[in-house]
Amino acid sequence: MASILEVSHVSKFFGGLAANSDVSFSVEEGAILGLIGPNGAGKTTLFNCITGFYPPSRGEVRFSGRRMNGLTPDRVCKLGMARTWQKVRPLAKMTVLDNVMVGALIHTNRLSVASAIAMEQLRYVGMDGRAPHLAGGLPIGERKKLEVARVLATRPRILLLDEVMGGLNPAESEEIIQLILEIKSRGITQIVIEHDMKAIMRISDRIVVLNSGEKLTEGLPREIGADERVITAYLGQAFDGH
């Protein structure tokens, strides 16, 4: 399979601090790539570099062969790459339907068309019953699903999900896992940042591990699960005793 996204030697500096340094990986079309690493490893910064929120200081991002450096987030989204936010960003004083319509309006100028697309996406994530409610009043689980419905309405080819399971209870997480797998079955490529190891092992085709801004390793889920360096990065150096 051809790779849809190629990240080559991407570095991002904030002053003297390297939030990402020399990160490279690629994602195959239709696959799910898990992106893991301890807090502060630079996962979200990497998302920001890929989606145009930060220009990478070095390196380049190619999306289906096209160089993405320097494109603004709205252009990135129009080209078919969409992202969700770790800290959800509902358009609080708009209804759930309106939130998703904003995403759908990227392809149409007509509200009726956008509304139909939006309802379809809301049904898909199981939130059509919430359509007339204000987004600001939703509980966290539904906010996360709303984020997903909203980006799906932009009809992305690749979706970057930033901790969509964060803060959810096991039942809600399971719903999201099923949703991610369904999105995969639609042929949409996904990069998933997640802290829940069990979940990430289950859904990912490949996993990239970041630590202190650098790529620690990359491989199949079972390889990552057995990798000493990954365990060390997460749990710290084994205590040697006396």
Partner 1 sequence: MRASSPRGLALVPLLALCAIAAVLVALPLTIDNPYALHVMILLFLTVVQGESWNVLGGYTGQYSVGHAAYFGLGAYVTLILLQSRQVPPWWGVWAAILLAVVVAIVIGSITFRLRGPYFVLASIAVAEIFRLVALNWGSMTSGAEGILVSDIPPLQVAGRTVTDFTSKVPFYYAGFALAVTTIVVNWGVKNSKLGYYFQAIREDQDAAHSLGIALPVYKNIALGISAFFTAWSGAFYGLYVGFIDPGTVLSVEVSVQFVLICIIGGIGTIAGPVLGALLLVPLSEALRANLLSDLLFKLGVVDEGTPTGIFLKDNLAHAHALIYGILVVLVILFMPDGVLGFARKLLARRRGQAPAAAPSAAKDSA
55 lines the binding site for partner 1 (CB under 8 A): no
Nearer to partner 1, 64 or 95 (CB): 95
The size of the interface with partner 1 (CB under 8 A), counted in residues, is: 40
144 lines the binding site for partner 1 (CB under 8 A): no
151 lines the binding site for partner 1 (CB under 8 A): yes
Q: What's the rounded Cα separation, in Å, for the pair 199 and 208?
A: 15
Which residues are within 8 A (CB) of 179 and not within 5 positions of it... i.e. 6 or more apart?
125, 145, 148
Our CA angle for 193, 73, 53, nearest 5°, is: 60
Q: Which two tokens stand for residue 180?
A: 């991610």
Smallest gap from Cβ 223 to partner 1, in A, equals 32
| Contacts by residues 184-188 (CB-CB < 8 Å, ≥ 24 positions apart) | 184/30, 184/31, 184/32, 187/29, 187/30, 188/30, 188/156, 188/157, 188/158, 188/159
The piece of 24-32, 57-65, 129-137, 166-174 that touches partner 1 (CB under 8 A) is 129-137
Q: Compose the 1-30 pattern: x for residues touching partner 1 by CB under 8 A, - for all others.
A: ------------------------------
Write out the binding residues for partner 1, residues 65-94 only, by CB under 8 A.
72-75, 77-78, 82-83, 85, 89-94
Smallest gap from Cβ 96 to partner 1, in A, equals 8
Smallest gap from Cβ 165 to partner 1, in A, equals 19
131 lines the binding site for partner 1 (CB under 8 A): yes
Nearer to partner 1, 74 or 182 (CB): 74
Helix axes 170-185, 140-152, angle to 10 degrees: 10
Phi, psi of 160 (to 5 degrees): -110, 110
Q: What's the rounded Cα separation, in Å, for the pair 76 and 81?
A: 6
The piece of 6-14, 58-66, 130-138, 179-187 that touches partner 1 (CB under 8 A) is 130-138
- Element housing 25 (H / E): strand 17-28
CA 23 to chain centre: 17
Smallest gap from Cβ 55 to partner 1, in A, equals 14
157 lines the binding site for partner 1 (CB under 8 A): no
Q: What's the rounded Cα separation, in Å, for the pair 222 and 175?
A: 23
Smallest gap from Cβ 147 to partner 1, in A, equals 9
Interacting residue ranges for partner 1, rule: CB under 8 A: 51, 53, 72-75, 77-78, 82-83, 85, 89-98, 101-103, 105-106, 109-111, 114-115, 131-134, 136-137, 150-151, 154
